[in-house]
Structure 1
Amino acid sequence: MTTRKGAAPAHLSVLLDEAVDGLVVRPDGRYVDGTFGRGGHSRLILERLSGDGELLGIDKDPEAITVGRELASADSRFRIGHGSFAELPRFLEDAGWNGISGMLMDLGVSSPQLDDAGRGFSFMRQGPLDMRMNPEQAPSAAEWLNSAPEAEIADVIFQYGEERFSRRIARAVVEQRAETPLSTTRELAELVSAAVPRKEKHKHPATRTFQAIRIFINRELEDLETGLRAAVDCLEPGGRLVVISFHSLEDRMVKRFMRDLARGPQLPRGLPVKADQTESDFRLVGKARKAETDEVADNVRARSAVMRIIERRPAKSEE
């Protein structure tokens, strides 16, 4: 996420202008920033809205909520909600909104979370083995790793990290915790590095394992599945859902969801139905977008970003 001039804390919002350009189709509409972070996207969305527009920010992280409350006190068009975008219907009910003109999801862990050693997300920094986007929820990564069955640990690392040495890593975790419970990011990173027999060039051996545990602890894929459906169900005609993902598991889920939604019902050949009876209410907007070379040069975390957009078709009279 990027911080523009005059905005708060250093946070590089990936595909900032591209995402907001694709999202804000009505300056007087109601929008949702489902991953507020430090407000980079939200601030630009507010710049694009008229005095009648409104924006709801949502985030799991209490630190993000603090920033959001500061923004809400400075701009009456903005409000912030603490939780997951999977809970969108609840947040809209609380706001008194019946529908939305668009929603943005900027997935994954934020730069401030990665950069804060105390949050335990990064294998590059020594800190407590936590990894919770919402520290008020349990369990932490350490609590789970020190209690979960070996097979469960292996399955999580394989499914969410696509790590082929997941069983070796899980076995090493169980052997280590029998001696001394894991408690720091460095302990886990060193354990994984020792357990992985073959290293990938230019990639830390713990990358996939840390990703997998973070996704599992925060229920990221479950929330994404629920959030995607909730978002499109709430879109008004002409409204758009914009999603930025950062790894293949997320992007595959988003791509398939949007593709199937835009394709419409797939009925057997020969059924006596008209073409317009099988036409989808949704359409894909453009192709998947990636960060340009200059953005990647400024923010290396942008290199894996993929943005996709889907739109609920406008009413026939508006087309």
Structure 2
Amino acid sequence: MNTTHRPVLLAEAVTALISGPLITSHSTTENLILIDGTFGRGGHTKALLAKLPSSAKMIAFDKDLDAIAVAQQINDQRLHIVHDSFAQMDQYAEPGSIDGILLDLGISSPQVDEAHRGFSFRREGPLDMRMNTDQGLTAAQWLEQAPPEEITHVIKTYGEERFAFQIAKAIVAKREAGLAPTTTLELATLVASVVRTREAGQDPATRTFQALRIFINRELEDLERGLKAALTLLKPGARLAVISFHSLEDRIVKQFLQAHSKVEIPRGLPVRDRDLPQSELAIIGRIKPSAEEVRENPRARSAIMRVAEKRLGATA
């Protein structure tokens, strides 16, 4: 099986980070520290290392033990591997010490393609779905015990699935009959029996599997905490680039960047322009994959990268 992972927006992400004022300034390149919050299979990390001086340091995070094993095979003293969520990055670096942060959200191709991980609704495997297989409930264990109302909420909220109630009802009915789904294809078949209509080209189980994966791994909670940590860690002039793959992630990123790029002034307060406080972030841009990249890597089609820069006057 081909489990090669092709990093999305590779050149664009590297350019976004290294073209910021800190890294382009010759006076600051001696002790650069960058963070790759989601190592995956190392595509972005290796591309960034190729552009950085020998004195630089790259801290790479991942919850997935398979990703950590790949990272540990890279012979580069600049690379420091951390088996943890990027949500905890502020536990591994000092405030205002980081020159650039990249978050490539979502799931890597090997995780989807390797059936034993339980992420794929097209391949038979145990219904696991945990990024970190050392801790937490599997999706099957959670479905075995969760109340129907909670299952409905998770599938509706994290999958934006309009048939969430019917899917939850079917899962509970199977469970009460002693036939709770324990494999990916069992769940996919069950969902397909309930979801009668779906967008062209989309498997009926797509939204349910997305919802369970996000919930089991606390992905949105990690994203919210990770964004806050990134803002604290970035030096003034450093950049943050976040690649998301669905609307729930992108909405959180967009709203966070917008909130920290604005300054709220009480209505009616007499102030002059030079008296205005400065926002913490400047939004640099929003980038989507080219048509050529989408043709070569269909999994890139929904990707959006948002880039922001910590303002030079801002403090950690």
TM range (shorter): over 0.9
The equivalent of 2:26 in structure 1 is: none
After superposition, the C-alpha distances for 1:42-65 in whole angstroms (9 at most, x for unaligned) are 001101100111100000000111
Kept in 2: contact 1:100–1:236 (CA 8 A): yes
Q: Which amino acid aligns with 2:9?
A: L
1:106 to 104, 108, 114: 104
Counterpart CA distance in 1 for 2:96 and 2:150 is 41
The equivalent of 1:198 in structure 2 is: 197
The structural deviation recorded for 1:272 is: 3.1
The structural deviation recorded for 1:98 is: 5.6
Identity of paired residues, percent?
51
SS of aligned partner of 1:79: strand
Count of residue correspondences: 301
SS of aligned partner of 1:244: strand
SS of aligned partner of 2:34: strand
Counterpart CA distance in 2 for 1:211 and 1:275 is 46
Counterpart CA distance in 2 for 1:144 and 1:138 is 10
Once the two structures are superposed, the pairs formed by residues 140-151 of structure 1 within 5 Å of their partners are 140-151=138-149
Counterpart CA distance in 2 for 1:300 and 1:40 is 17
1:166 equivalent in alignment to 2:164: yes
1:51 equivalent in alignment to 2:50: no
SS of aligned partner of 2:145: coil
1:300 to 279, 298, 301: 298
1:60 equivalent in alignment to 2:31: no
Counterpart CA distance in 1 for 2:55 and 2:298 is 37
Q: Which amino acid aligns with 1:309?
A: V
Kept in 2: contact 1:68–1:79 (CA 8 A): no
Structural RMSD (CA): 1.5
1:289 equivalent in alignment to 2:287: yes
Counterpart CA distance in 2 for 1:147 and 1:315 is 51
Counterpart CA distance in 2 for 1:267 and 1:240 is 26
Once the two structures are superposed, the pairs formed by residues 206-217 of structure 1 within 5 Å of their partners are 206-217=205-216
The equivalent of 1:238 in structure 2 is: 237
Kept in 1: contact 2:96–2:236 (CA 8 A): no
Counterpart CA distance in 2 for 1:118 and 1:53 is 37
The equivalent of 1:40 in structure 2 is: 43
The equivalent of 2:77 in structure 1 is: 76
The structural deviation recorded for 1:33 is: 0.2
The equivalent of 1:16 in structure 2 is: 10
Q: Which amino acid aligns with 2:201?
A: H
1:221 equivalent in alignment to 2:220: yes
TM-score normalized with structure 2 length: 0.92
The structural deviation recorded for 1:259 is: 1.0
The equivalent of 2:93 in structure 1 is: 92
The equivalent of 1:125 in structure 2 is: 123
The structural deviation recorded for 1:270 is: 1.6
After superposition, the C-alpha distances for 1:70-118 in whole angstroms (9 at most, x for unaligned) are 22xx11111100010000111226xxx8610010000011111001001
The equivalent of 2:188 in structure 1 is: 189
Q: Gaps spanning 5+ residues in structure 1: where?
A: 1-8
Q: Which amino acid aligns with 2:167?
A: I
SS of aligned partner of 1:283: strand
TM-score normalized with structure 1 length: 0.91
21-30 or 131-140: bigger deviation: 21-30
SS of aligned partner of 2:93: helix
Kept in 2: contact 1:69–1:79 (CA 8 A): no
Q: Gaps spanning 5+ residues in structure 2: where?
A: 24-28
Which one has more relative contact order, counting CA pairs under 8 Å at least 6 apart? 2
The structural deviation recorded for 1:181 is: 2.4
Counterpart CA distance in 1 for 2:271 and 2:83 is 45
Counterpart CA distance in 2 for 1:188 and 1:10 is 26
